[in-house]
Amino acid sequence: MERLHTALAACLGLACLHLGGSAHGGEVPRLTFAQLVDSLRANFEVTQTIKSYNGREVEIQGFIIPAGPPDLSFFLLSRVSAVGNYCCEVPVGQDETVYVYAAKGVKILYDPLRIYRVRGAFEAGPHTDRTYGVSLFRMRDARVEEAVGAKIFKVGETTAPAPNK
């Protein structure tokens, strides 16, 4: 009987270990544009920390800027909308732009004011594409979906101060 209890406890322990591993193993790292900007050095090289994501699936949220075919098989992902609030925002550069190569044509309704969640194989470092030019950050085989409920402000930031009455 004691042997049966030991065997059952071992099986239960293995089952819990397996469930715990799969729950955490499925999580995809989420990168932010702030991390991308912070990873740049004066010579347009990127830090080892951001390079450690090379080839790994990551998620980034941002605005789509159409820059290629109408099927959105290639587009730019940016911190700022293509419509942009340029009276209040500094225009973005390559440090805040990700070149996205979609796995297949993207099947979404494009809206320049929506935030999208993009998942794909991440690449960091200078690269020249014969069609689209020089990029610092890329995502390949990307999948895109609307990021419903995504926050566009930093934590602790508000839209406007409360009016004084």
CATH number, domain of 81, equals 2.40.50.870
- Residue at 153 is within a domain: no
Are the CB atoms for 109 and 122 separated by under 8 Å? Answer: no
Strands 30-31 and 133-146: unpaired
Q: Would the pTM count as exceeding 0.75?
A: no
Q: For each of the chain's 165 residues, which pLDDT tens digit applies? A: 454 333 333 333 333 333 333 334 578 999 999 999 889 876 778 899 999 999 999 999 999 998 888 888 999 999 888 776 555 555 567 778 999 999 876 788 888 889 999 999 999 999 999 999 999 999 999 999 999 877 655 555 444 445 555
Strands 97-102 and 57-66: unpaired
Residue-number span of the structural domain to which 140 is assigned = 25-146
Tokens of 32: 């932010």
Count of domains forming the chain: 1
- Residue at 17 is within a domain: no
- Residue at 163 is within a domain: no
* Beta bridge mates, 63: 78
Amino acid found at 132:
Y
Residue among 82, 137, 138 at smallest CA distance from 115: 82
Helices within the chain (DSSP H only) = 2-25, 33-38, 48-51
- Residue at 100 is within a domain: yes
Are the CB atoms for 89 and 163 separated by under 8 Å? Answer: no
- Residue at 10 is within a domain: no
Strands 57-66 and 30-31: parallel
